[in-house]
Amino acid sequence: MEIGILGSGMVGQTLAAKLVEVDQEVLVGTRSPDKVNDWAAHNPRVKLGTLSQAAAHGQAVINATSGSGSLEALQLAGAANLNGKILIDLSNPLDFSHGMPPSLTVCNTDSLGEQIQRLLPQVKVVKTLNTVNAVVMVNPQAVAGGDHTLFLSGDDQAAKDQVRRWLREWFGWRDFFDLGDISTARGVEAMMLIWVPMMMKVGSPLFQFKVMR
């Protein structure tokens, strides 16, 4: 399957490396190719290009850009390259301008997930994976043997069901909680207000929430 990843930071790199390991065809889109040339040289199966090339390449596209730059990055990726596709949105609207812990640039009555959906109304936005760090994204078994919960938000039920299947197949995720439409991204993005202090307290990002039913 052809997958476009928007963003070449730690999250994008981790996802790309794992996805080619499970035989997906990945093109990472970046605005700073010089910063990732060394990484790309050590990962020759991953293609590197512009944001618009990554968006055009992917049958599905992953937004792995930082939340502060996601809307601009998606505009550069181009609606024409994204329309009709599933966009898996990992971003969080974090503001680090006053140090740690960060605040949220949008919350309560809106979310970054909703802003992305409004920006790209013909794209099937599915917010997920934003409550775990990159290592856990691609290897949920790293925490409690995978016995924890991943949240999904989005307006298109078929898209959420497909993302669930992909995440199970690509990375081994087992337990999902479908929160509902894209407005529920407000809740999972706000979880960063407890996630970051927890990470600072335990001294590790290797944890995740579990819903006990």
Q: Express each pLDDT in 38-56 by its tens digit.
A: 999 999 999 999 999 999 9
Per residue in 140-157, pLDDT tens?
999 999 999 999 999 999
In a domain, 52, yes or no: yes
Please tell me the predicted confidence (pLDDT) of residue 33: 85
Per residue in 65-82, pLDDT tens?
999 999 999 999 999 999
Per residue in 79-137, pLDDT tens?
999 999 999 999 999 999 888 999 999 999 999 999 999 999 999 999 999 999 999 99
In a domain, 208, yes or no: no
- Residue 137 near residue 129, CB atoms below 8 Å: yes
Backbone angles phi, psi at 190, to 5 degrees: -70, -20
In a domain, 173, yes or no: yes
Q: Which domain holds residue 167?
A: 2-202
In a domain, 213, yes or no: no
* pLDDT for residue 35 is more than 90: no
In a domain, 164, yes or no: yes
In a domain, 114, yes or no: yes
| Domains identified in the chain, total number | 1
In a domain, 211, yes or no: no
Which is it for strands 86-89 and 94-95: parallel, antiparallel or unpaired? Answer: unpaired
Per residue in 158-203, pLDDT tens?
999 999 999 999 999 999 999 999 999 999 999 999 999 999 999 9
Q: To the nearest whole number, what is the mean pLDDT of the chain?
A: 97
- Residue 22 near residue 172, CB atoms below 8 Å: no
* pLDDT for residue 34 is more than 90: no
CATH number for position 183:
3.40.50.720
Please tell me the predicted confidence (pLDDT) of residue 14: 98
Global pTM reads: 0.97
- Residue 195 near residue 148, CB atoms below 8 Å: no
DSSP per residue over 50-95, as a string? -HHHHHHH-SEEEE-S-GGGHHHHHHHH-HHHHTTSEEEE----EE
In a domain, 147, yes or no: yes
